[in-house]
Amino acid sequence: MSEWWTYSLSDFLMFSARTYYRQFELMNRELWPLHLLAFTAGTAIVVRMLRARPAGPQMAFLLLGISWLCVAWAYHLQRYADIHTGAPYFAAGFSIQAGLLGWMALRKQAPPSTGRANRIAILIVLVALVVFPALAPSNGRSWWQAEMFGLAPDPTVAATLGALLFWRAPWPLWIIPLLWCAASSATLMELRAPLPWMLPALAFLGVAAALAPTSGREQVAGTK
């Protein structure tokens, strides 16, 4: 029996990039037009960022929690599990994150980020809503294979990172999204799929913005 350290990721990925993206097509065809509702939910999160409302962050985190549950069920358990033995564990992680986001929807929120962090957070969410779905046709794949926020994991995780940055969420809520960024990037690299670095790049941008020191002017603006 071979030692565990002699295995590589390719030993666990028994599918091709074509099969991987086929799972999104099957899901999209079966769930359409639920995509319209998912896009509306994502747009509502952006609106909550752009227009301050007392219950804005609570609604945003509630929508994100529901989105993570949808991905756990509709993608990981119903589709990805057919080709990846780790999918049930991914579904469990996404369900845990959904619970954490639900907890965020119930707690008192910190003031939103200001300045550069504020703009980066909104940019990350917009990339999740608009750029991720456009990757399919831009890379020669069908629109049916597009990865949509609220249904596919990568754009859902990206939008969550933007929200966590915008509303200064506690660091434990970043753990599962960041772990998924690493897992997804490794999978795409092994499949030689286009842009495997995109999600980790957004994660790095979000973490860097969250860790960056806040200027005195931004601190004053955030207290108003």
Residue 218 belongs to some domain of the structure: no
Q: Please tell me the total number of residues recorded for the chain in this structure.
A: 224
> Do 165 and 121 touch, CB atoms closer than 8 A?
yes
Task: Give which of 134, 158, 190 is closest to 13, Cα–Cα.
Answer: 190
Please, which contacts does 107-110 make with residues 24 or more away whose CB atoms are closer than 8 Å?
109/57, 109/58, 109/167, 110/167, 110/168
Residue 68 belongs to some domain of the structure: yes
Q: Is 113 helix (H, G, I), strand (E, B) or coil?
A: coil
DSSP string, 37-85: HHHHHHHHHHHHHHS--TTHHHHHHHHHHHHHHHIIIIIIITTGGGT-T
**Residue 111 pLDDT grade (very low, low, confident, very high; cuts 50, 70, 90):** confident
Task: Give which of 173, 202, 36, 209 is closest to 93, Cα–Cα.
Answer: 173
Rounded to whole angstroms, the Cα distance separating 59 from 45 reads 8
Q: What is the mean pLDDT of residues 2-24?
A: 70
Q: Is the pLDDT of residue 95 over 80?
A: yes
Q: Is the pLDDT of residue 55 over 90?
A: no
Residue 10 belongs to some domain of the structure: no
Instruction: Please give the DSSP secondary-structure letter assigned to residue 197.
Output: T
CA distances from 95 to 17, 40, 139 (A): 26, 22, 31
Structure tokens at 115: 């300045």
Residues 6+ apart with CB under 8 A from 213: none
Q: What is the mean pLDDT of residues 120-145?
A: 96
Q: What pLDDT, on the 0 to 100 scale, is given for residue 53?
A: 74
Instruction: Give me the number of domains the chain comprises.
Output: 1
Q: Is the pLDDT of residue 146 over 60?
A: yes
Q: What pLDDT, on the 0 to 100 scale, is given for residue 176?
A: 98
Mean pLDDT score across all residues of the chain: 89
Rounded to whole angstroms, the Cα distance separating 66 from 60 reads 10
Residue 135 belongs to some domain of the structure: yes
Q: Is the pLDDT of residue 4 over 70?
A: no
Rounded to whole angstroms, the Cα distance separating 97 from 56 reads 20
pTM of the model: 0.90
CA distances from 48 to 86, 137, 196, 224 (A): 35, 29, 30, 18
Q: Is the pLDDT of residue 220 over 70?
A: no
Residue 88 lies in domain: 15-212
Residue 217 belongs to some domain of the structure: no
Task: Give which of 71, 98, 100 is closest to 184, Cα–Cα.
Answer: 71
Q: What is the mean pLDDT of residues 102-110?
A: 85
Q: What is the mean pLDDT of residues 31-46?
A: 96
Structure tokens at 156: 């859902």
Residue 101 belongs to some domain of the structure: yes
Beta strands (DSSP E) in the chain are none
